[in-house]
Every structure is written in structure tokens, then in C-alpha cells.
């Protein structure tokens, strides 16, 4: 949106030295959300990484020049040593964020959390009031999480709302976006549900896909309005790289004179980067191409160094993820916007067909929008 209103020359291609690492340090959680990818529970899981092991891996990440670390769980604040781990990461000079459900942030620990200097703290909110409590299966969760957001804000921590959309909470998206203004929140992270739809034939009539398009339209217009009003709010979407292509079509409709410029920026962004610029470490120290690939183990950081596993292209999935273009099939292969989207979320293709290179069944764009025959 900034490029729409204040275009600047295209910077050189992005070539981060190492991936952003999302680290699920603990699987235990005090909530049992319907959409949890980590299948957490309020019980201790055996054999999780010790503080000493975490510190050794942190040193490896630093040596590799990992640019950012997102500490997550389960609920990361259930680890007694979470702040010590975060402090260590910060001392190594790594951008450090925390993803929490917020219910354990209170007056007793907010000063210690603020003292870490987290670069960002994301708190999950799935709806207003009871909607959120029902998603989280915890009475009072909404009030506790909102309290945490206010505490973070008042202690100078950059804080964001993390929202995962489903059919059951879509109606509350406008109200959630309003919270940015009314509560002085810096950022809104919109996560698509890992939804696979019913395949290509029904795309135009698929209720969920149409809901997704409405949600994107709402986010785009809110981001633009905020920017025009001089606000510094940030909007991020995740878990569906077709968003970039959808944005391009939105720009073509609303700002056709800027479409070529935005097109080049989206190509530079490059779409999905699981296994390339995104990595995930689970609570036991196993490495994965991203958080959605927990059933695909690249190797244990207790046995091999991060760099050795990450750069090892003998693994067929990692080899394919690192290929340019990726060896995608079906409509992704024929898509004229593959360079913007990069074939989207391979794990959805894997789950639905058993083939990680099949077309992404979660693509909500019509055939016309991806340059195939008219629908």
C-alpha cells in the first residue's frame, strides 16, 4: 500500500543469509484451540530441549546469521526459562519475537517481559468476547488476552493481534480490525486456516473461498485507509501465498496505473519460502521446512548442526522447495503468476493428494485470475 501511494525504485533482490526461524520451544499449552497446528495440551511433553541445548542451537543460528527468531509453543510462557532464552537471543543480536496466547501475561511479569526488549509480541485473538473463549475453549480468555495486549502496549512493547479466520469468526473481522484503533495496537496478522477446499471445480462457488476474498478486500481497504490517514498500523497475511496475486488483481481494479510497479514488487517478494527463508524447530529439536510440516522431519538438532541439515539437498522435499521454479504441477504449473506465489503451501497439496508438488487445493483464485481459460 505504501508503494501505491509513495512509489520508490525497486530494491535489489532479497537474499537473506539464512531463514527466519520459528521455534516451538514447548508443546504444553493452557488452551486447547480448535485450529492448533501443534496439537498441544495442558500437560508436559517428554524430552523437550533443555536450556543448555537451546543455547547451543542459538549459537548455531547466530553463526549462520539467522535474521529473526519467533519464539512460540504451545504457550512459550509456560517454559520457566523463556525469558532467559529470549534474553540470550537478544544478546546475540537476533530480532526476537514472541507468539503467545497472552493469558499468562499480567502485572507480575510484564516488567520482566518488557525488560527483554522483544522486537515484537504477537497475541492470538480469534473473535470478540465469547467467540474467542469458545475457540480457545477457555472462559475469560478474551479478557485475559486483551489485558495482556494493553499491558504490553503500556510498557512500550510493539504488540500485534494474531487472528486465524474460519467460517465461525469471519463476521467479527471488522470489529477486530477496529481494535487496532480503539486499543492502540500496532499490527494485525491474518492467518488463513489451512483449508483445502473441494478442488478446482467448485472454486467460484466455494463459500469459504468467497469468504476469504471478502476478508482480503476488507484488509486491503483498511490498510489503505489507515495509510491515507497517516497511521502506522501494519497488516500481514500468512498461510496462503495466493494473497499476493489477489492483491495484484485488486490493484489492477483500483489503481491500474500502479499495477506494473506493484507487480514488480510482488515478484521481488517471491511468494512462499518454506524451506528456504522460513524454518521451524519443534519442541524436541527436530527441524522442519515450516510450522505446518511437523509430520516431515528433516533431522534432529541434537544429532546434526542446523546448517548441515538445512543445506542438505539430498532430502527430496528440501531439494524441491529450493528449486527455482519449484517442480509444481497442475494449475500451479500453468499459473502465469507462479513467480509471485511460488506455488503456495505445499503441505496442503501433500495432505490432500500425497504429492507435495500437486497444485495447492487452498488457492482461492479463479482460473481467469491465474491466466487459464475463462471460467
| Count of positions on this chain that bind ligand SF4 (CB under 6 A) | 15
Per rule CB under 6 A, is residue 86 in the interface with ligand SF4? no
The answer to whether 245 contacts ligand SF4 (rule: CB under 6 A) is yes
- Residue 289 binds ligand SF4, judged by CB under 6 A: no
- Dihedrals φ, ψ of 144, to 5°? -65, -40
Residues 225-244 that bind ligand SF4 (CB under 6 A): 242
Assess 160 for contact with ligand SF4 (CB under 6 A): no
Stretch that binds ligand SF4, among 164-172, 173-181, 226-234, 327-335 (CB under 6 A): 327-335
Q: Which stretch binds ligand SF4 (CB under 6 A): 6-14, 80-88, 190-198, 360-368?
A: 360-368
Determine, following the binding rule CB under 6 A, whether residue 360 of this chain makes contact with ligand SF4.
yes
Question: Please, what is the minimum distance in Å from the beta carbon of residue 275 to ligand SF4?
Answer: 16
- Beta strands 159-165 and 20-24 are unpaired
Query: Quick check: 121 binds ligand SF4 (CB under 6 A)?
Result: no
Question: Is 361 an interacting residue with respect to ligand SF4 (CB under 6 A)?
Answer: no
What residues between 331 and 350 interact with ligand SF4 by CB under 6 A?
A: 331-332, 335, 337-338, 341, 343-344
Instruction: Confirm or reject binding of residue 356 to ligand SF4 (CB under 6 A).
Output: no
Residues of this chain that interact with ligand SF4 (CB under 6 A) are 242, 245, 331-332, 335, 337-338, 341, 343-344, 359-360, 363, 365, 370
Amino acid at each position: 500500500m505504501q508503494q501505491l501511494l509513495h512509489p520508490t525504485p525497486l530494491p535489489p533482490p532479497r537474499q537473506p543469509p539464512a531463514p527466519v526461524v520459528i521455534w516451538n520451544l514447548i508443546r504444553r499449552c493452557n488452551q486447547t484451540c480448535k485450529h492448533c497446528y501443534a496439537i498441544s495440551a495442558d500437560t508436559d511433553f517428554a524430552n523437550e530441549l533443555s536450556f543448555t541445548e537451546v543455547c547451543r542451537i542459538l549459537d548455531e543460528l547466530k553463526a549462520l546469521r539467522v535474521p529473526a527468531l519467533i519464539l512460540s509453543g504451545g504457550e512459550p510462557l509456560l517454559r520457566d526459562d523463556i525469558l532467559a532464552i529470549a534474553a540470550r537471543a537478544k544478546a546475540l543480536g537476533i530480532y526476537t519475537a514472541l507468539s503467545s496466547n497472552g493469558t499468562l501475561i499480567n502485572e507480575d511479569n510484564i516488567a520482566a517481559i518488557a525488560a527483554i526488549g522483544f522486537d515484537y509480541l504477537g497475541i492470538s485473538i480469534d473473535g470478540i468476547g465469547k467467540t474467542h473463549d469458545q475457540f480457545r475453549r477457555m472462559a475469560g480468555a478474551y479478557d485475559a488476552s486483551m489485558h495482556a495486549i494493553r499491558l504490553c502496549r503500556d510498557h512500550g512493547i510493539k504488540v500485534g493481534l494474531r487472528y486465524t479466520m474460519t467460517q465461525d469468526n469471519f463476521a467479527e473481522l471488522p470489529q477486530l480490525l477496529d481494535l487496532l484503533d480503539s486499543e492502540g495496537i500496532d499490527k494485525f496478522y491474518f492467518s488463513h486456516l489451512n483449508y483445502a477446499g473441494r478442488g478446482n471445480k467448485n472454486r467460484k462457488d466455494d463459500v469459504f473461498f468467497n469468504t476469504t476474498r471478502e476478508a482480503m478486500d476488507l484488509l486491503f481497504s483498511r490498510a489503505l485507509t489507515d495509510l491515507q490517514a497517516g497511521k502506522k498500523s501494519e497488516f500481514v497475511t500468512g498461510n496462503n501465498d495466493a494473497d499476493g496475486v489477489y492483491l495484484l488483481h485488486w490493484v489492477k481494479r483500483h489503481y491500474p496505473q500502479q499495477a506494473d510497479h506493484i507487480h514488480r514488487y510482488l515478484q521481488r517478494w517471491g511468494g512462499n519460502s518454506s524451506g528456504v527463508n522460513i524454518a521451524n524447530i519443534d519442541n524436541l529439536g527436530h527441524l522442519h521446512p515450516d510450522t505446518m510440516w511437523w509430520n516431515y522431519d528433516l533431522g534432529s538438532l541434537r544429532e546434526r548442526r542446523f546448517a548441515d541439515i538445512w543445506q542438505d539437498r539430498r532430502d527430496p522435499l528440501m531439494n524441491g522447495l529450493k528449486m527455482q521454479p519449484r517442480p509444481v504441477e497442475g494449475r500451479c504449473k500453468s499459473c502465469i503468476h507462479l513467480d509471485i506465489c511460488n506455488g503456495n503451501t505445499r503441505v496442503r497439496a501433500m495432505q490432500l493428494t500425497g504429492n507435495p508438488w500437486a497444485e495447492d487445493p487452498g488457492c482461492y483464485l479463479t482460473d481467469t485470475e491465474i491466466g487459464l481459460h475463462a471460467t
